Chains A and B, each alone.
Chain A
Amino acid sequence: MRIEFSRRKRNGERFKIEIDVDLLGDWRVAVVLVQETVTLLSRKYEVLKTSLSDDTKVERPPGSTALNWSRKIFPKKFVRDVLEPTVMDLQDEYLEALASSGKAHRRWVYLRGHLSFLLAVVVGLKVGVVKKFVDVWKML
């Protein structure tokens, strides 16, 4: 799948960008036009950064670093069922905020998403510990 779009610069000159979505791996990509720059969110942002023009701002998707660390720490099932969907929701809401609202709201969505992630980790761990305790109790 290819995304193709063009944007007019301040001097009236148009520039065209084509992106192969397959290049972005399993991550959603957002093409958001904010003033003069095009913001792309991608895990493979190094690849995009080198292949796109200077007018294109490339960012890591919010929550991707936290998710990468979680994959090293927590059980696969917990990451797949709880943390991955939490981060996907954060990214979706962040993309919506990027496209339609101001900086303050965007920051709030970013912060709220990360707090939700933290809460999911705390609640998930608490449930896990209690479950383990009950299992041990039943064995006694």
Chain B
Amino acid sequence: MNDIPRLSARERTILELLVSNGEMYGLQLVKASPEIKRGAVYVTLSRMADKGFVKSRRVEEEALPGKPRPRYSITGLGQTALNAHDSYVAHFTYKGAPA
């Protein structure tokens, strides 16, 4: 039971967004969900990167001179954690009394 990955609501939202949209900037994540706050998004992403759920890369863009911003994507471990978390939640969700 201890092996089931723990995901907070915010972490789950981030992983879901990364699954549906692919690579995203932190600001795009903030704009995509009201649950994710500007002040907490990078702390959460940094923690998730430490756990191996997401990875980041900095891409130079011609249209945007200056220091490249990190773009985040989900890792295999992140996908596994999301699937495991969802099936765990589905298993223990009350689906009503049997007929």
CB pair A27–B67 under 8 Å, yes or no, is yes
What are the residues of chain A within 8 A of B43 when measuring CB–CB? Answer: 82, 120, 123-124, 127
What are the residues of chain A within 8 A of B45 when measuring CB–CB? Answer: 81
From known contacts A26-B66, A28-B65, A88-B67, infer whether A81 and B39 are also in contact, taking CB-CB under 8 Å: no
Give Cα distance in the complex from A112 to B40, angstroms. Answer: 13
Give Cα distance in the complex from A124 to B70, angstroms. Answer: 18
Contact code string B50-75 (vs A, CB < 8 Å = 1, else 0) = 00000000000000111101100000
* 8 A Cβ contacts from A18-59 to B: 21, 24, 26-29
* 8 A Cβ contacts from B29-51 to A: 30, 37-40, 42-43, 45-47, 49
A116 contacts partner chain B, Cβ-Cβ < 8 Å? yes
A119 contacts partner chain B, Cβ-Cβ < 8 Å? yes
CB pair B70–A119 under 8 Å, yes or no, is no
* 8 A Cβ contacts from A93-139 to B: 93, 112-113, 115-120, 122-124, 127
CB pair B42–A82 under 8 Å, yes or no, is yes
CB pair B38–A86 under 8 Å, yes or no, is yes
CB pair B67–A82 under 8 Å, yes or no, is no
What are the residues of chain B within 8 A of A24 when measuring CB–CB? Answer: 65-66
CB pair A81–B65 under 8 Å, yes or no, is no
**Which residue of the partner chain B has the closest CB to A28?**
B66
Give Cα distance in the complex from A22 to B69, angstroms. Answer: 18
**Which residue of the partner chain A has the closest CB to B40?**
A123
Give Cα distance in the complex from A82 to B64, angstroms. Answer: 20
CB pair B66–A85 under 8 Å, yes or no, is no
CB distance from B33 to the nearest CB of A (A): 15
What 10 A-B pairs have minimum CB-CB distances, sorted nearest first? A119-B39, A28-B66, A116-B38, A116-B39, A81-B46, A82-B42, A26-B67, A89-B27, A123-B43, A21-B65
Residues on B facing A (Cβ under 8 Å): 26-27, 30, 37-40, 42-43, 45-47, 49, 64-67, 69-70
Apart from A89-B38, A112-B38, list 4 A-B contacts with CB within 8 A: A26-B67, A86-B26, A92-B27, A120-B43
